[in-house]
Amino acid sequence: MLRRSTAVVFIVAFAALFAPYAALAQPESSAVAALRHTLSGLNIDSPLEDLRKNRSRGDNRFVGINGFRCLPPGLNEKEIGLARKHGLRCLEGTSDMIEGEEHERLLSRAIAYATAYNKALLVELKNAVQPNQPLHPDALTRAGERQR
């Protein structure tokens, strides 16, 4: 009987000691993995560079974030009609259900990227800027002031 109780105590102590590390070893969620993969294919620090590259290939789609439905951040209700006309490229792994701190961090980066990308694309489309024509540096500032 003494051996059995010693074994139980050992198992309980072992489990208590290493339980916090078990949470760290959990595999990342599929949403985190998908979003990490999606962001790896973007120039996350320079959405304008991605915009130039995409427009040079004739891709005038806005970038969408998934939630109840895919919507382009950075656009108001009236401007969303323009996004419908040109199309949306929804970023895989984005969601309105946050699956932990890492997903929240990646989602924040995705939203910031999509917002900057969409605002710049909106300015270019409204001003009929050709795909390979450089956008005037003050265009985004002027567009932001007009929206207020």
Query: pLDDT digits over 99-143, tens only?
Result: 999 999 999 999 999 999 999 999 999 887 666 555 555 554 444
CA distance 31 to 100: 10
Closest by CA to 45, choosing from 116, 94, 137, 120, is: 116
Q: Is residue 126 part of a domain?
A: yes
The DSSP bridge partners found for residue 62 are: 88
pLDDT > 90: what percent of the chain? 61
Q: Is residue 131 part of a domain?
A: yes
Report, as an integer, the average pLDDT of 19-41: 77
Number of separate domains in the chain: 1
Closest by CA to 67, choosing from 31, 100, 43, 37, is: 31
Show the domain range for 74: 28-147
Q: Is residue 63 part of a domain?
A: yes
Q: Is residue 17 part of a domain?
A: no
- Residue 143: per-residue pLDDT: 45
Q: Is residue 80 part of a domain?
A: yes
Query: pLDDT digits over 35-56, tens only?
Result: 999 999 999 999 999 999 999 9
- Residue 29: per-residue pLDDT: 79
- Residue 25: per-residue pLDDT: 47
pTM above 0.85, yes or no: no
Q: Is residue 20 part of a domain?
A: no
Q: Can you state the angle between helices 30-40 and 101-126, rounded to 10 degrees?
A: 40
